[in-house]
Amino acid sequence: MSKHPSDSELIAAAREAAGRAYAPYSKFRVGAAVKMAEDETVFSGCNIENASYGGTVCAERTAIFAAVATGLRKIETLALTVLDAPEDAELKDRSPCGICRQVIREFADDDLTRILIDRGNDSWDLLTIEELLPHGFRL
């Protein structure tokens, strides 16, 4: 956990987390870092695969759930990276799965949350939650 990081520091934290991924089946190492709106604390997470694929947990959820477990509930910025993506991979090849999109929306602020998707060349795509999951489910 760290406080007051810049976007580039969040990307770096996501890359570091991806290096810790447990991905023996897909070889697709993903990392996420989430800065929480309440106090700017950063939590990171990696994907953790399981031989029973349904038991796999994505990096985004690992990071978000770590934050929620401490009592924080609002995402300010989420950074995501895929270490093993080819340099010419499109945004769709690097972006969160459907379950993660819904979890991000659950803890997002429509007017505040920013999603950074690492392009791997010291640049990233910036999305809003509405761009990531238009018309997402809410109770």
Sign of CA dihedral 85, 31, 58, 80: negative
Close Cβ partners of 6 (under 8 Å, ≥ 6 residues apart): none
Task: Compute CA 93 distance to the chain's CA centroid, rounded to the nearest angstrom.
Answer: 14
Which member of 38, 40, 60, 106 is catalytic?
Answer: 60
Is there a catalytic annotation at residue 106? Answer: no
Angstrom distance (rounded) from CA 15 to CA 32 = 8
Question: Got the DSSP string for 82-131?
Answer: ETTS-TT--GGGTSPPHHHHHHHHHTB-TTT-EEEEE-SSS-EEEEEHHH
Q: How far is CA 89 from CA 24, 94, 121, in A?
A: 21, 7, 12
Q: Name the amino acid, one letter, at 40.
A: E
Active-site residues, by number, are 60
